[in-house]
């Protein structure tokens, strides 16, 4: 069996998704990953954040690999482990070897894990005694272990016992069987997905479909030594979109549960900020990449074409299909989001199970893109994506703000977003 050959994303162009093991995956960069995780981790004194960051990953990985093993008909434990190892690397999470795991658990160690590696390369060691940053992998591997050995969801416990961020040379996790299972739920998979098509906006030469297909064909190849994916000046992962949506939703719920409704604006603000971080780094990186210069730039005539170009790329990184509802300008950008991954994930929950009534990440993201175009003027100068520029765009007073004029999570048939200059 060639495990690598069994691992490939299935692009669903009518949904703007990349599916593997029944799970839509989205491309994000380590800036966004760290920002969102750190925002949640800040609440560690308020509620046990592992129950959100680790358990959610465990649920998703369990469903993903159960589905993948079923689809491929693989029943041999060693072959299943090889598939998990291949998926782990293919998604840019790093390199792992599961040889020492059994149905009773065991230990996994690696010097290369996305969160730990990118954090350790940037910051000094965290305080000793503070847990490591590889929450996602911890849960992901616990869920994978359950799937490998056909164990029930929630039957494996886990712990991260070493981390590069603490000065250790490796990330180490322990896995063990639990007498009392964790209260976990199977993943929502493709959720309440929508279908649609990429609409070519008439007032631009930007060839939407051509750009989407070009991005889909980009070889995001993990480094052979580290298993990490470098691209567009950042470190990328293919992560189940449900993970981001659910940890955001669950964090909000836990915070309100602990502190009351008055905490909501603060949590919302952090989730919006995560969109700024993503626009600035991932999308900004794309817009200044050699690939952009080759594929998009020849068709750019106006600053607005930068907006069209980046919208065309989004379905290829699994975020859904985005279309303009009128010609954008520096004063207004109105978009319709079809199958936006966060909305699709959360729409699969009953209204009683969710609190978010829109995707705050999308609000920050699209406002951030507008800031890059019209404030930073990316169309006429090469930007340096540093803290100075970030503070200029998103520090004192945000340049743009976005609001959902329609939201599937409020019962509307579609998501519509309007970006306008902030009134500060």
Partner 1 sequence: MSTWRSWIRTLLSPIKSKETTQTESSKSSIDTEKPTAPPTSSEELDPSKLYPILPLKEWIIRNISPYAWDRTVIRSLPELSRMGIATTMVLAPKPDTELPLPVLQVLLSSLESMYGVKPDLREILRKTVTV
Site string for partner 1, 138-177 (x = CB under 8 A): ----------------------------------------
| CA 270 to chain CA centroid, nearest Å | 15
Structure tokens at 372: 């890059």
Euclidean distance between CA atoms 377 and 18, whole angstroms? 31
CA–CA distance, 174 with 168 (Å, rounded to integer): 15
Report the distance separating Cα 304 and Cα 372, nearest Å: 12
**Quick check: 40 and 220 in contact, CB under 8 A?**
no
Tell whether residue 131 is a contact of partner 1 (CB under 8 A): no
For residue 91, report the phi and psi dihedrals to the nearest 5 degrees: -85, -5
Judged by DSSP in three states, 216 sits in helix
Region binding partner 1 by CB under 8 A among candidate stretches 10-18, 28-36, 67-75, 369-377? 28-36
List the 105-110 sheet strands across, edge first.
105-110, 171-177, 156-162
Among residues 5, 183, 202, 262, the one that binds partner 1 under rule CB under 8 A: 262
- Angle at CA of residue 198, ends 196 and 204, nearest 5°: 150
Q: Which is nearer to partner 1, 146 or 273 (CB)?
A: 273
Neighbours of 220 (CB within 10 A): 18
Residue selected from 15, 25, 28, 34 as contacting partner 1 according to rule CB under 8 A: 34
Stretch that binds partner 1, among 7-15, 41-49, 211-219, 341-349 (CB under 8 A): 41-49
Q: Is 121 in the site for partner 1 (CB under 8 A)?
A: yes
What gap in Å lies between CA 318 and CA 316, rounded to an integer? 5
**Residue 296 within binding range of partner 1, rule CB under 8 A:** no
**Which CB, 127 or 219, lies closer to partner 1?**
127
> Exactly one of 183, 202, 265, 413 binds partner 1 (CB under 8 A); which one?
265
Looking at beta carbons only, is 195 or 422 nearer to partner 1?
A: 422
When binding is defined by CB under 8 A, the residue of 13, 172, 199, 259 that contacts partner 1 is 259
In whole angstroms, how close is the CB of 42 to partner 1 at the nearest point? Answer: 5
| Span 206-245, contacts to partner 1 by CB under 8 A | 230, 233-235
Residue 203 interacting with partner 1 (CB under 8 A): no
Contact 206, 260 (CB under 8 A): no
Give the footprint of partner 1 on residues 374-413 (CB under 8 A).
Answer: 385-388, 390-391, 394-396, 398
Q: Which is nearer to partner 1, 180 or 384 (CB)?
A: 384
**Binding of partner 1 at residue 30 (CB under 8 A)?**
yes
Shortest distance (Å) from residue 256 CB to partner 1: 11
Whole-angstrom distance, CA of residue 27 vs CA of residue 243 = 12
C-alpha span between 89 and 237 (Å, rounded): 10
Maximum pairwise Cα distance, the chain: 64
Asked if 124 touches partner 1 (CB under 8 A), the answer is yes
Based on the shown chain and the rule CB under 8 A, indicate whether residue 106 belongs to the binding site for partner 1: no
Q: Which of the residues 300 through 359 are near partner 1 (CB under 8 A)?
A: none
Among 123, 203, 293, 412, binds partner 1 (CB under 8 A): 123
- State the nearest-atom distance from the C-beta of 395 to partner 1, in Å: 5
Based on the shown chain and the rule CB under 8 A, indicate whether residue 31 belongs to the binding site for partner 1.
yes
Among 73, 183, 202, 260, binds partner 1 (CB under 8 A): 260
By the rule CB under 8 A, 48 interacts with partner 1: no
The C-alpha atoms of residue 9 and residue 231 are separated, in whole angstroms, by 18
Tokens of 277: 């971080």
C-alpha 359/C-alpha 362 separation (Å) is 5
What CA–CA distances, in Å, run from 245 to 24, 143, 225, 274? 12, 18, 31, 12
| Binding track, positions 73-102, relative to partner 1; x by CB under 8 A | ------------------------------
CB atoms closer than 10 angstroms to residue 38: 13
Q: Helix count (H) and strand count (E) of the chain?
A: 15, 12
Residues that bind partner 1 (CB under 8 A): 29-31, 34, 38-39, 42-43, 45-46, 118, 121-127, 130, 230, 233-235, 259-260, 262-263, 265-266, 269-270, 273, 281, 385-388, 390-391, 394-396, 398
């Amino acid at each position: 069996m060639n495990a690598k050959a069994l691992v490939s994303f299935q692009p669903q162009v009518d949904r703007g998704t990349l599916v593997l093991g029944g799970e839509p995956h989205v491309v994000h960069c380590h800036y966004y990953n760290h920002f969102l995780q750190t925002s949640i981790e800040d609440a560690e004194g308020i509620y046990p954040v592992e129950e959100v960051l680790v358990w959610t990953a465990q649920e998703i990985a369990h469903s993903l690999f159960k589905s993948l093993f079923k689809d491929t008909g693989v029943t041999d434990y060693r072959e299943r482990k090889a598939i998990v190892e291949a998926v782990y690397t293919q998604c840019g999470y790093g390199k792992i070897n599961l040889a020492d795991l059994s149905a009773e658990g065991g230990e996994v160690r690696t010097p290369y894990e996305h969160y730990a590696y990118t954090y350790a390369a940037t910051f000094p060691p965290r305080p000793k005694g503070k847990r490591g940053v590889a929450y996602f992998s911890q849960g992901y591997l616990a869920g994978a272990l359950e799937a490998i050995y056909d164990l029930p969801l929630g039957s494996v416990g886990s712990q991260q016992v070493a981390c590069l961020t603490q000065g250790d040379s490796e990330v180490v996790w322990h896995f063990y069987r639990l007498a009392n299972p964790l209260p976990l739920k199977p993943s929502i998979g493709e959720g309440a997905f929508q279908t649609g098509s990429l609409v070519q906006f008439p007032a631009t030469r930007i060839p939407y479909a051509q750009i989407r297909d070009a991005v889909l064909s980009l070889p995001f190849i993990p480094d052979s030594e580290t298993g990490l994916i470098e691209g567009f000046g950042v470190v990328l992962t293919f992560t189940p979109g449900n993970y981001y949506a659910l940890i955001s939703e669950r964090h909000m719920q836990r915070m309100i549960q602990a502190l009351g409704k008055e905490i909501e604006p603060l949590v919302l603000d952090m989730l919006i900020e995560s969109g700024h971080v993503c626009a600035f780094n991932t999308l900004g990186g794309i817009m200044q990449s050699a690939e952009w210069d080759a594929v998009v730039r020849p068709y750019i005539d106006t600053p607005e074409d930068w907006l069209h170009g980046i919208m065309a790329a989004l379905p290829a990184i699994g975020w859904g299909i985005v279309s303009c509802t009128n010609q954008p300008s520096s004063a207004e950008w109105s978009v319709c989001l079809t199958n936006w991954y966060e909305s699709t994930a959360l729409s699969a929950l009953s209204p009683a199970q969710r609190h978010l009534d829109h995707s705050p990440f999308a609000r920050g993201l699209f406002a951030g893109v507008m800031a890059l175009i019209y404030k930073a003027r990316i169309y006429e100068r090469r930007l340096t994506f540093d803290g100075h520029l970030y503070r200029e765009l998103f520090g004192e007073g945000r340049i743009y703000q976005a609001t959902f004029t329609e939201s599937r999570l409020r019962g509307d048939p579609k998501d519509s977003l309007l970006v306008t200059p902030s009134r500060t």
